[in-house]
Copies of this chain bind each other. A is one copy, B any other.
């Protein structure tokens, strides 16, 4: 089922998004016909995951053109609307890359824009499939010669987070397809529970055995030897391999380094931002305090407390054992830096 799962789907006249804030209990979609709705959907995480946001942003250019036509906008106003889509979330680079790519065909008109957006989406699925193969090959060679693997992952990087199939979760699905996966430990991923809501939901669809655990359990699970490797996605990767990903990722990386097991990042090369030399240059989105002070609208902390809510953290490249891309695996901590290998 999940091979056909489309978090982001162009219907011919608009964009249909699976409302990821409603999963796992309700599978609802949102029909997006205007730019405001799209920007809101990106900011509220109706659609999330760097590659999925990228695909949504790519189609967003078409949406802006159609809305502009319908409402009689000037070209400047259409471009301004596209700029708002492009900046709806600050950390993921795919959104900007995908919007910019589609905008190279802006002056050719709607058909060209739609053709380019479809190519963005198709190429992302192809890239995910390639990553799945490279990542599974690498893991089986390094850690899985003798028995099925136990893999830890953080946040959601599956079909919901991409144009289809998945990045880190794509590698996990490939291992499962090859009969070489024992179990997945899915960090629940507070504050918004993309792990327990979305990753677990995708794993259930695939029939993959898994445990959901508190994010705080991840380091102990790794140190007790309960997993063979961890694999996560990325929102932006600097030239030196420093990787911005969902908050909590660097804690997993530190535990893997201490335990001496592989820590992999799976992401398409569009996630690598060669113009950013190190992670210090990556802007970390601070989201609303209520996400950590409340639960489903009910306050859990005292009324007087403040919240600190960085949505991402930066894992130093020296902790990244392997970066799985659609072109192969870079052994970053061993010195294969994206800035050298991907220019």
Q: Interface code A165-208, partner B: CB below 8 Å = 1, 0 otherwise?
A: 00000000000000000000101111101001100110110000
CA distance A188 to B248 in the complex (A): 13
Do the beta carbons of B191 and A214 come within 8 Å of each other? Answer: yes
Do the beta carbons of B216 and A251 come within 8 Å of each other? Answer: yes
CA distance A211 to B306 in the complex (A): 5
Q: How far is the CB of A194 from chain B (nearest CB, A)?
A: 11
Chain A residues numbered 12-26 whose CB sits less than 8 Å from any CB in chain B: 24-25
Chain A residues numbered 211-226 whose CB sits less than 8 Å from any CB in chain B: 211-221, 223-224
Do the beta carbons of A308 and B190 come within 8 Å of each other? Answer: no
Interface residue A275 (Cβ < 8 Å from any Cβ of B) = no
- Please tell me which one of the listed residues B190, B193, B250, B258 contacts residue A219 in the complex, with CB atoms under 8 A apart: B250
Q: Interface code A151-174, partner B: CB below 8 Å = 1, 0 otherwise?
A: 000100000000000000000000
Residue of B nearest to A254 (CB): B254
Q: Which residues of B contact A293 (CB under 8 A)?
A: 196, 212
User: Which of the candidate stretches A30-38, A67-75, A309-317 sits at the interface with the other chain?
Assistant: A309-317
Interface residue A335 (Cβ < 8 Å from any Cβ of B) = no
CA distance A29 to B284 in the complex (A): 43
Given contacts A190-B188, A219-B313, A254-B255, contact A248 B301 (CB under 8 A): no
CA distance A292 to B187 in the complex (A): 10
Q: Which residues of B contact A316 (CB under 8 A)?
A: 223
Chain A residues numbered 308-332 whose CB sits less than 8 Å from any CB in chain B: 308-310, 312-314, 316
- Please tell me which one of the listed residues B295, B305, B310 contacts residue A200 in the complex, with CB atoms under 8 A apart: B305
Q: Which residues of B contact A90 (CB under 8 A)?
A: none
Do the beta carbons of A247 and B216 come within 8 Å of each other? Answer: yes
> Interface on chain A toward B: helix, strand, loop, or mixed SS?
mixed
Chain A residues numbered 267-322 whose CB sits less than 8 Å from any CB in chain B: 284, 292-293, 295-296, 298-302, 304-310, 312-314, 316
Residue of B nearest to A197 (CB): B300
Interface residue A210 (Cβ < 8 Å from any Cβ of B) = yes
Do the beta carbons of A24 and B308 come within 8 Å of each other? Answer: no
Q: How far is the CB of A324 from chain B (nearest CB, A)?
A: 22
Q: Which residues of B contact A310 (CB under 8 A)?
A: 217, 220-221
Q: Which residues of B contact A203 (CB under 8 A)?
A: 305
Do the beta carbons of B251 and A218 come within 8 Å of each other? Answer: yes
Q: Which residues of B contact A296 (CB under 8 A)?
A: 295, 298
Do the beta carbons of A304 and B213 come within 8 Å of each other? Answer: no
Q: Which residues of B contact A313 (CB under 8 A)?
A: 217, 219-220, 223-224
Given contacts A220-B310, A292-B188, A300-B197, contact A212 B305 (CB under 8 A): yes
Do the beta carbons of A215 and B216 come within 8 Å of each other? Answer: yes
Instruction: Give A contacts to B, CB under 8 Å.
Output: 24-25, 154, 185, 187-191, 193, 196-197, 200-201, 203-204, 209-221, 223-224, 246-248, 250-251, 254-255, 258, 284, 292-293, 295-296, 298-302, 304-310, 312-314, 316
